[in-house]
Structure 1
Amino acid sequence: MELGIEGKVAVVTGGSKGIGRAISLRLAREGAQVAVIARGEQAIAETVAQIESAGGTAIGLSADLAALASYDRVIDEVRRKLGPPEIAVYNMETPLSGTFEQHDEAAFAYAFHIIVLCYMRMVKCVLPHMKQRGWGRIVTIGSGAAKQPVRGNLDFAYALTNTVRVAALGMAKTVAWETAQHGITVNTIATGAIETRAALDWFADRARERGISPEAFVAGVVGQIPVGRLGLPEEMAGLCAYLCSDIAAYTTGEAILCDGGLTNAMP
């Protein structure tokens, strides 16, 4: 299927590991020129090497994605090295788990900062370029918590995620309305339990706290998912590539669940 993104300049934050790496690889496979932006230089280099070995085009940029000023710098560098960004994928660390009472004001402020304010800054940096070209795709890797708060339990609750993901989704919907006339779409992928190294490490930590094996803990998670398994980063990347394509030009302001049927809320 022709996605119509060959030669497009794509920016992927957190693009060197897990879901972000899978998205970087998939967009490059579809012919996009990919800027892999993350903190760790080794992981960036590995991802860029994978893209180039497959015949794709990519650059790697190291940045502290929790610093608002980083976005102005990296987007300007992308513009100089590849051209104006036409696709922007915002993929950021997940807020800490925990109950409402376990988190103080600083924790809530940081979660809001990385999920809402940093996303806002990236969007503000890429929008002028997209509006000038009359075409753009913005995709955020979010959470099913934006559609339905995750109750969890006292062992691992999601007070921060439940709070800030909704704010990010509201902003995405607003930007989608305001930019639709310029040929720009803004969408969110609402993920569930995805099999990344970071997620497996988190599962192992929770299992250790409970005094059970990581395998037993994962089995408990999987038991709640209708499809009966964890999601794969490549599956998130496939949906992301579609949302970045010409085919998805009439899809904007959406939060699309990709969680194996886990979320009970209506789509």
Structure 2
Amino acid sequence: MDLGLKNRVALVTGGSQGIGKACAIKLAEEGATVVIAARGRELLDQVAAEIRAAGGKVLAIAADVSQDAECARIIQEVLKAYGRIDILINNAGTSATGEFESVTDKDWQADFDLKLFAAIRLSRLAIPEMRKNKWGRIINVTNIGAKQPKAKSMPTTVTRAAGLAMTKALSKEFAADNILVNSVCIGLIRAGQHERKAAKAGIPVEELYEKQGKEVPLGRVGRAEEVANVVAFFSSEASSYVTGSSVNLDGGTSAVM
């Protein structure tokens, strides 16, 4: 199935590993020109080399999206290189959780800057460029806790819930410009943070995944590539009548739609 992504320019934040890397690879496979942004240059270059080796087009930008000036620089570099931006995947951020009384103001601000304000700033900069061509896609990667927060799940569940509210509001404000805004709410997905958790516990990561998978109705932990498939759909012509929506990508874990 041709997703209609050839010659589209897609920016993926947190694009050096995990879900961001998988999204970048998938979009490049579908013919999009991909820009990946993350803080670590070494991992970025590795992903870029992998995409180029497979015949894809990619630009790697080392930047910290929690900083206002860095968001502006990313968009400037994208426009300088390609003259347009069609797709924005706001993916940067890992899960930050703790007991409410232990989460400091600094922790709260850092989480809002990385997960919410990065998406706000990049969207605000990208939307005028999308409006020029009457075509745009913004996909916000959040998590199922945004809809159904658990105890000791802050600040992540609060910042992600704000991301869902922004998704819905933007979808309505820019629908007339054919800028579609959707969200993917992830559950347990194989990621570096789980590998670090396994190493800290002194167990093989597959043993951890097997244990975690028992908590998922489908019986396993999801893969980053499975998230990328849904992100590619939201990025494509195939999603032309879908905006303001969120998909739970959690193997059936969430109790809410």
Assess same fold via TM > 0.5: yes
**What residue in structure 1 maps to residue 193 of structure 2?**
198
Q: Which of 168, 174, 180 is 1:179 aligned to?
A: 174
Aligned 8 A contact 1:95 1:111 in 2: no
Instruction: Give SS of 1:225's match.
Output: coil
Does residue 1:104 correspond to 2:77, yes or no? no
1:227 aligns with 2:218: yes
CA distance in 2, matches of 1:116, 1:106: 15
Percent of residue pairs identical: 33
> Match of 1:24?
24
Q: Supply the AA of the counterpart residue of 1:199.
A: H
Question: Match of 2:183, SS?
Answer: strand
Secondary structure of the residue that 1:77 maps to in structure 2? helix
The residue type paired with residue 110 of structure 1 is: A
- The alpha carbon displacement at 1:251 in A equals 0.8
Report the CA distance shift for 1:57/1:217 in structure 2 as closer, same or farther (over 3 A): closer
What is the rounded CA distance, in whole Å, between the counterparts of 1:198 and 1:52 in structure 2?
27
Structure 2 residue matching 1:186: 3-state secondary structure: strand
Work out whether 1:255 is the aligned partner of 2:246. Answer: yes
Superposed counterparts of 1:15-94, under 5 Å: 15-94=15-94
Contact 1:9 1:83 in 2 (8 A): no
Gaps of 5+ in 2: none
Provide, for residues 160-204 of structure 1, a one-character-per-residue CA deviation record: whole Å limited to 9, x for no partner.
122111111101110111001101111111001111223321354
Deviation for aligned residue 1:217: 4.4
Q: 1:214 to 1:10 in 2, by over 3 A?
A: closer
CA distance in 2, matches of 1:86, 1:199: 32
Distance 2:207 2:19 in 1: 24
Distance apart, 1:150 and its partner CA: 2.9
Shift of 1:95: 3.9
Cα contact 1:203–1:218 (8 A) shared by 2: no
Alpha carbons 1:139, 1:186 under 8 Å: kept: yes
Distance 1:215 1:48, change over 3 A: closer
Count of residues in correspondence between the two structures: 257
3-state SS in 2 of match to 1:237: helix
C-alpha distance in 1 between matches for 2:207 and 2:75: 43
Q: Secondary structure, in 3 states, of the residue corresponding to 2:171? A: helix
In 1, Cα distance between the equivalents of 2:45 and 2:175?
35
Secondary structure of the equivalent of 2:219?
Answer: coil
Give the match for residue 165 of structure 2: 170
Name the TM-score, length of structure 2 as normaliser.
0.95
Output the aligned Cα RMSD.
1.6
- Report the more deviating stretch, 129-138 or 96-105: 96-105
Provide closer, same or farther for how the CA distance between residues 228 and 84 of structure 1 changes in structure 2, counting only shifts above 3 A.
same
Deviates more, 1:252-261 or 1:193-202: 193-202
Change (3 A) 1:11 1:197: same
Q: Distance in 1 between matches of 2:194 and 2:75?
A: 29
The answer to whether the 8 A contact 2:67-2:113 is kept is no
Query: What's the TM-score, normalizing by structure 1?
Result: 0.92
* CA-CA distance at 1:215 after TM superposition: 5.5
Q: Secondary structure at the match of 2:70?
A: helix
Counterpart contact for 2:5–2:30, Cα < 8 Å? yes
Matched residue SS, 1:247 = helix
Match in the other structure for 1:244:
235
